[in-house]
Amino acid sequence: MKKEEATTKEIITAPPILNGKLIQAEGLDLWYLHQFLTKKQADKLFDTLEDELEYFTGDLAKVKIFGKWRDIPRQQVAFGDPGMVYRFSSLSVPALPWPSALKDLRDDVSSVLGQDYNFVLVNRYRNGLDHMGEHRDDEGELDEGAGIVSISLGQVRDFVLRHRDVKFKKRRMDSVKIPLGHGSLLHMRSPTNTFWYHALPPRKKALGVRINLTFRKVIPEKMSKK
């Protein structure tokens, strides 16, 4: 008998600013604010980043998948405190100095969540073909207690999470799909990255640009020396 595919829970709406929605399941702990930024604030930040940011090229625009280096299917750049380096998928991403707009946003996010974030990874999705493959952000230099904070700007895109037991076909569980809106905030809290993979799949009908800002707290003493 053919195995049934995991169904998908739809998170359609969330309460207004600073009255977020908890999304929880086994090993999953998310907090979603549909409108962390007002439309006016989100529009202004989107336009500022489109005007000011330059994205990595060359080796920093590649990622190692199954032993082969491939072009990242999106644009990427990183900012942070002096000396911060984030390593994933055999790639070392150095933090450039904070632009004022992102430093101000970092301060706002840190104030609301009570954490001192020192690094942001910026991903720009040019259209619906740009995407993020399924993965976990479980690197040892990340402060698990701070979680990872995602701010979305521009085109609405689906954020999909799948439990590791489903990925490795050990059992059936619902996946979770969240349409991340313009100006929204998603706080992915521990132990989510231990048990759940997440992805931003291609969406051919999503024609607009999306900018995603993921704030992290890197522990300098734990940064890999490799």
Binding residues: 66-68, 86-88, 123, 125, 135, 138, 198, 210, 214, 216
Average pLDDT on 92-115 reads 95
Q: Which of 4-18, 126-140, 147-161 has the highest mean pLDDT?
A: 147-161
pLDDT digits (tens, 9 = 90+) for 70-101: 899 999 999 999 999 988 767 788 999 999 99
Determine how β-strand 185-188 pairs with β-strand 210-216: unpaired
Cα separation, 87 vs 166, whole angstroms: 26
Residue with the larger pLDDT of the pair 33 and 221: 33
Binding residues for 2-oxoglutarate: 123, 125, 135, 198, 210, 214, 216
Binding residues for substrate: 66-68, 86-88, 138
pLDDT of 10 strictly over 90: no
For the chain, which residues make up each domain, given as ranges? 24-220
Say which amino acid occupies 78. A
Confidence at residue 160, expressed as pLDDT on a 0 to 100 scale? 97
Superfamily of domain 24-220: Alpha-ketoglutarate-dependent dioxygenase AlkB-like (2.60.120.590)
Average pLDDT on 48-66 reads 90
pLDDT digits (tens, 9 = 90+) for 173-226: 889 999 999 999 999 999 999 999 999 999 999 999 999 999 999 988 877 654
Q: What is the pTM of this model?
A: 0.88
Cα separation, 25 vs 47, whole angstroms: 36
